[in-house]
Amino acid sequence: MKYIVYVSQAVKAFDSSELAQLLEHSQAKNLEDGVTGLLIYRFNPEYSRGNFVQALEGPEAAIDDVWQRISNDRRHHTIVVVEEGDIETRMFSGWSMGFRNVDADDLKNVEGFSDLGSDDFWGQATSGTVPKALELLKSFYDGI
């Protein structure tokens, strides 16, 4: 299985409705493709800028296909691969999306939404061998 972790900058601020739409679309497509992972969006009001950090894992061909879609997605730019490689077991059993600057109450009823601040979430995500990039994801979520 292959994994890839990248960071990018959003072209505009995303509101909770747009993030929920992104989550629902991603879950459906990833389920179809056998891809799992984690997407974190963080809006920094000081710079009026939103950023994404995403980890994806799955069969190599599926990751290559999703990477092509991500690379051509006009909702973000300055896409930088932080880490990629092969893993034996998945770090994430299902699709989750984390939100740093969106009120979790807005999304708590959306299937697949996870409280990334909970110890339970990170305990499940870190079972098995964990690439360094997962630590980056957690640091990014925690707001370094």
Threshold 0.75, pTM exceeds: no
**What CA–CA distance (Å, rounded) separates 93 from 6?**
19
Tell me if 5 sits within 8 A of 57, measured CB to CB. Answer: no
What is the mean predicted confidence (pLDDT) over 93-119?
52
Write out the two tokens for 19. 């993030």
Q: Which domains does the chain have, with CATH numbers?
A: 2-142 (3.30.70.100)
Shortest CA distance to 39 belongs to which of 68, 6, 69, 16?
A: 6
* Listed range (15-24, 69-78, 96-105, 106-115) with the worst mean pLDDT: 96-105
What's the whole-number average pLDDT of the chain?
76
**pLDDT tens-digit series, residues 38-47:** 888 877 777 7
> Is 33:98 a contact under the CB 8 Å cutoff?
no
pLDDT given at position 91: 81
Note the pLDDT of residue 101.
39
Query: What pLDDT, on the 0 to 100 scale, is given for residue 65?
Result: 94
Contact 16, 103 (CB under 8 A): yes
